[in-house]
Structure 1
Amino acid sequence: MDKLIHLILLSGLLCVSGSLAGNLALKGTATHSSTYYDWAAQNAIDGVKYGDAYCSSTSSDSNPWWRLDLLDAYSISTVIITAHDNYLGETTGAEIRIGHSLDNNGNNNPICAVTPDPLPGNTVSLSCNGMEGRYVNVVRSGRTSYLTLCEVQVYETVSHKRKTFLRLKFSSSVDVAAESDKILHQLQSALASHISDFNLSWTQLPEKEEKRMEDRGRCVKTPA
């Protein structure tokens, strides 16, 4: 005899509000004053924050620098720097410079901020208050040292906020509607690594509808 399987089908309307500004660095290209072994400049914009294979580093240079080309001019609100766990001092005291010029490899552009010493939690967020430029440089001026960066994130200033509505549908053996807050938290965490300054909220909670489905020989797990 065929088994009767009960699935709980739900659909809800989700509102995503905010600037929805993505990490501009992921679309850019990077270079630096020299390369320490295979710690390439592009590693600092690969979207992965930790691990030697995902970090960039110069050799021991005089005034070591790293430069990001955003490929277009933007109004920059925030630059986020993640340092290497074991090489904290090789990122601190670095100048963040933003501008349009490539004079002196871009290191003559205006200063947005200087990374503190030490970086709290190995990551620091620096406000640039809408400085405009195509190039973002990280340079340790007046030093002969390495410059090690595990991730550089760059976010633009967005002049207005907007809302986006998404219709979500679920098929589950549990009552997803009863866990709507948990789902919202999981979605927020998943999106946080790709977009900034946003909020999620249900405008219509998932509604439940039970549907009987026949199992014709497939292996389907059912509650005991």
Structure 2
Amino acid sequence: MLLLQVLNYPFILLLMHLQSCYHWIPPENLALRGTATQSSLHSLAQKAVDGNRNFNLKNGFCTYTALESAPWWRVDLHHTYTIHYVALTNQGDCCSYCLNGAEIRIGDSLQNDGKDNPLCATVSSIPPGQTEYFVCTKFLKGRYMTAVLPRVGILSLCEMEVFGQFPA
């Protein structure tokens, strides 16, 4: 398997030898069919899985929590998948630092709001209005993808995309 960047979207190239033919299999954003929730309802959690990468928080395209201890956002994918990578779009106006230090966790547990699931990646920083891709150090299996800020703060994100395969 090979991860390529094409037109700002990563594509997984699976080379399958079928009578000397090779096929591109474009990735599917599993989060689009998911149900999102978050630790506080300061803004609608579902805005982060609407397929819109618009990064303008003030115009209502992003979601964010209240100022709280260890705020989290989660998408229920409704089935367990093997997750290959996730893409996270940061807000482009004020407070783009709100994602700094966020942890991306993937697993099947809702214990502690999914914050105890295995760690996929930690966000050091994402430039304002940009989308960054995070490949888990190993493919993780899970139904829930949780972003948690392990400190007091506001968790803000504009789009969370989850790419993987079913069944796990």
Which TM-score bucket, shorter chain as reference? 0.7 to 0.9
**Is 1:147 aligned with 2:143?**
no
Q: 1:144 to 1:156 in 2, by over 3 A?
A: same
* Match in the other structure for 1:21: 27
Q: Distance in 1 between matches of 2:142 and 2:127?
A: 25
Identity in percent: 41
Structure of greater relative contact order (alpha carbons < 8 Å, 6+ residues apart): 1
Runs of 4+ in 1 over 6 A off after TM superposition: none
* Match in the other structure for 1:35: 41
* Match in the other structure for 2:146: 137
Displacement of 1:121 in angstroms is: 5.9
Deviations 1:140-175 (A, max 9, x none): 11x1110001000000058xxxxxxxxxxxxxxxxx
The structure with more radius of gyration = 1
Which has a greater percent of strand? 1
Amino acid at match of 1:64: P
Q: Distance in 1 between matches of 2:45 and 2:161?
A: 13
Q: 1:118 to 1:54 in 2, by over 3 A?
A: closer
Which has a greater percent of helix? 1
Alpha carbon RMSD of aligned pairs, Å? 2.1
Q: Is the 8 A contact 1:115 1:124 kept in 2?
A: no
Q: Distance in 2 between matches of 1:121 and 1:55?
A: 11
Unaligned runs of 5+ in 1: 1-14, 159-224
Matched residue SS, 2:53? coil
* Match in the other structure for 2:113: 105
Q: Count the aligned residue pairs.
A: 142
Q: 1:92 aligns with which of 79, 92, 100?
A: 100
